[in-house]
Amino acid sequence: MSTTTNYDAIIVGSGIAGAIVAYKLGQAGKKVLILEAGPKIPTDRSNYMDTFLKANIKSPESPYPPSTQNAIPSSEENPLGLPDPGEENTPRYTVLQINSWRKPKQSYFDFQQQQDNLKGDSPQANFAYGSSYERIGGGTTWHWLGTSLRFLPNDFKLKTKYGVGVDWPTAANNQDFYDYLVPYYEQATIEINVAGSKVAMDKLYTQFDDQQTFGPNYNYPMPEIVESLVDEEFANNVTSMKIDNEPVYVTSTPQGRNSRAGERRQCAGNTNCIPICPIQAKYDATVTIARALQTGNVDILYQHVVSKVLLDPVTDEVNGVEYITYDTQTGKATGTDTATAKKYVMAAHAIETPKLMLMSATDKFPNGAANSSGQMGKNLMDHIMYLAWGLSKDPVFPYRGPLSTSGIESVRDGAFRKAVYDANGKLIEGRAAYRIEIGNDGWSWAAGDPFTTLGDYVFGQNNSHTNATATNSQGKNLKFNTALGDNSKLFGKELVATLNGIYTRQIRLGYLIEQLPYEGNSVELSKNLKDNLGLPRPKINYQIPADYERNAFVSAKKVSTDIFNEIGATEYTQDPGAPVFYEEEGGKPLTAANFQYEGNNFIFYGAGHIVGTYRIGTEKSNSVLNYRQQSWDHSNLYMIGSGVFPTLTTANPTLTIAAMSFSAADNILEDLNSESASSNAELASVSSQNK
Amino acid sequence: MNNFVGLSAVLTGFAAATIAPAIDPINIKAEYYAKFQAEIGNNLFFQILSDFQTRNTPPGSNQTQEEKNQLIGEAMLAGSNGENYVMSCRKLIFLWYSGAWPTVDGDTTSSQMLSAKSYTQGLAWQVMQSHPMGDSNYRYGYWAKEPADLSGYTGNNN
Amino acid sequence: MKLTFKALILFISLMLLHACSSKKEKKGYANLPPANSSDVVISSTIPTQITSTGDPVTLESLQHDFDVLSWQSFIALNWPANADGTPKENAIFGANESGMTVWQSWKSSREIFLPHGKKPNAWGEVENIPIVCDSISAEDLEKGIITLTQVGKTPNVLDESGEPFQTGPLIDQNGNYTRYEILTNEVMFDYIVDNELYSYEGQKAFGKDADFPFSDPDTGKEGAIMVKAAWIKMEGKYDASQFHTAYALVYDNPHEQAKVKPACSLVKVGLVGFHIAHKTKGDPQWVWSTFEHVANAPTQGEPVNRNFYNYHDPTSTYPVNEPPARPWNPANTGTTPTKVERVIPIDNDAKALNTKYQAALEKMFKGSVWANYELISTQWPTDANNVSDQTGKPAPTFLANATLETYIQGKVPQTSSNCIACHNNASMTNGMFSDFTYLLQRAEGKEIKEKK
pLDDT value of position A208: 81
Q: Is A278 in Cβ contact with B113 (below 8 Å)?
A: no
Chain C contact set for B23 (CB, 8 A): 28-29, 57-59, 62, 382-383, 395
User: Helix (H, G, I), strand (E, B), or coil: what is residue A370?
Assistant: coil
Chain C contact set for A45 (CB, 8 A): 415
Task: Concatenate the DSSP letters of all residues of A464-485 into one string.
Answer: TS-SS--B-TT--B--S-TTSP
Q: Which helix (H) or strand (E) holds A458?
A: helix A451-459
Q: Is the pLDDT of residue A285 over 70?
A: yes
Arithmetic mean of pLDDT, A390-403: 98
Q: Which helix (H) or strand (E) holds B152?
A: helix B150-154
pLDDT value of position C440: 98
pLDDT value of position C140: 61
User: What's the gap between Cα C255 and its chain centre?
Assistant: 23
Residue pair C155/C266 in contact (Cβ under 8 Å)? The answer is yes
Binned at pLDDT 50, 70 and 90, residue A681 comes out as confident
User: What are chain C's partners, defined as 3 or more CB pairs within 8 angstroms?
Assistant: A, B
A43, closest residue in chain C (CA to CA): C167
Mutation target for B interface from A257, A267, A280, A400: give the one with most B CBs within 10 A.
A400
Q: Is the pLDDT of residue A376 over 70?
A: yes
Chain A contact set for B128 (CB, 8 A): 397-399, 442, 450, 499-500, 503-504
Q: Is A455 in Cβ contact with B94 (below 8 Å)?
A: yes
Q: Which helix (H) or strand (E) holds B112?
A: strand B108-113
Number of domains chain C is built from: 1
Query: Which of C228, C79, C83 is closest to C158 using CA atoms?
Result: C228
Task: Concatenate the DSSP letters of all residues of A500-530 into one string.
Answer: HHHHTTEEEEEEEEEPPP-TTSEEEEEEEEE
- Is residue A313 classed exposed, middle or buried when 0-12, 13-18 and 19+ CB atoms within 10 A define those classes? exposed
Each residue's pLDDT tens digit, A574-600: 999 999 999 988 889 999 999 999 999
Average pLDDT, chain A: 96
> Which residues fall within 8 angstroms of residue A21, CB to CB, at 6 or more apart?
A9, A11, A32, A345, A347, A640, A661, A664, A665, A668
CA distance C84 to A455: 66
CA distance C46 to C276: 12
**Which own/partner contact pairs does C281-284 have at CB distance under 8 Å and 24+ positions apart?**
C281/C48, C281/C49, C281/C214, C281/C215, C281/C216, C281/C217, C281/C218, C281/C223, C282/C27, C282/C29, C282/C49, C282/C384, C283/C214, C283/C380, C283/C381, C283/C384, C283/C392, C284/C214, C284/C381, C284/C384, C284/C392
Residue pair C74/C291 in contact (Cβ under 8 Å)? The answer is yes
pLDDT value of position C131: 82
Question: Is the CB of residue B154 less than 8 Å away from at least one CB of chain C?
Answer: no
Q: Which parts of chain C register pLDDT below 50? A: 1-26, 145-152, 450-452
Model ipTM?
0.98
Each residue's pLDDT tens digit, A20-77: 999 999 999 999 999 999 999 999 999 999 999 999 999 999 999 999 999 999 999 9
Amino acid at A14: S
Q: State the CATH architecture for A1-110+132-192+284-381+611-691.
A: 3-Layer(bba) Sandwich (3.50)
CA distance C269 to C273: 12
Query: Which of B145, B29, B123 is closest to A499 using CA atoms?
Result: B123
CA distance A622 to A519: 11
pLDDT value of position C138: 59
**How many CB atoms are closer than 10 A to CB B71?**
14
Query: What residues make up the domain containing C311?
Result: 5-451
CA distance A87 to A332: 10
Query: What residues make up the domain containing B149?
Result: 2-154
CA distance B23 to chain A (A): 24
Arithmetic mean of pLDDT, A354-376: 98
Question: Is the CB of residue C96 less than 8 Å away from at least one CB of chain A?
Answer: no
Number of domains chain B is built from: 1
Distances (CA, A) of A86 to A10, A490, A529: 28, 46, 7
Q: Please give the model's pTM, rounded to 2 decimal places.
A: 0.95
Looking only at Cα atoms, what is the longest distance across chain C? 68
Chain B contact set for C57 (CB, 8 A): 23
> Which residues fall within 8 angstroms of residue A490, CB to CB, at 6 or more apart?
A457, A458, A484, A498
CA distance B42 to chain A (A): 23
Give φ, ψ of A525 to 5 degrees: -90, 130
Each residue's pLDDT tens digit, A143-154: 999 999 999 999
CA distance B127 to B121: 12
Chain A contact set for C165 (CB, 8 A): 263-265, 280
The rounded percent of chain A whose pLDDT value lies above 90 is 93
Q: Which parts of chain B register pLDDT below 50? A: none
Specify which residues C378 forms β-bridges with: C289
Q: CA C300, C301, C303 angle in degrees (round to 5)? A: 95
pLDDT value of position A638: 98
Give φ, ψ of C231 to 5 degrees: -130, 150
**How many CB atoms are closer than 10 A to CB C131?**
9
> Which residues fall within 8 angstroms of residue A680, CB to CB, at 6 or more apart?
none
Would the CA dihedral through B90, B96, B98, B102 be positive or negative? positive
Q: Which of residues 23-52 of B touch C (CB under 8 A)?
A: 23-26
Give φ, ψ of A284 to 5 degrees: -145, 165
Mutation target for A interface from B19, B127, B135, B156: give the one with most A CBs within 10 A.
B127
Each residue's pLDDT tens digit, A93-102: 999 999 999 9
CA distance A508 to A442: 6
Specify which residues B109 forms β-bridges with: B104
CA distance B75 to A180: 73
C405, closest residue in chain A (CA to CA): A44
Specify which residues A326 forms β-bridges with: A333
> Which residues fall within 8 angstroms of residue C317, CB to CB, at 6 or more apart?
none
From the list B15, B21, B140, the residue facing C431 with the nearest CB is: B140
Supply the angle between the helices B83-98 and B2-12 in degrees, to the nearest 10. Answer: 80
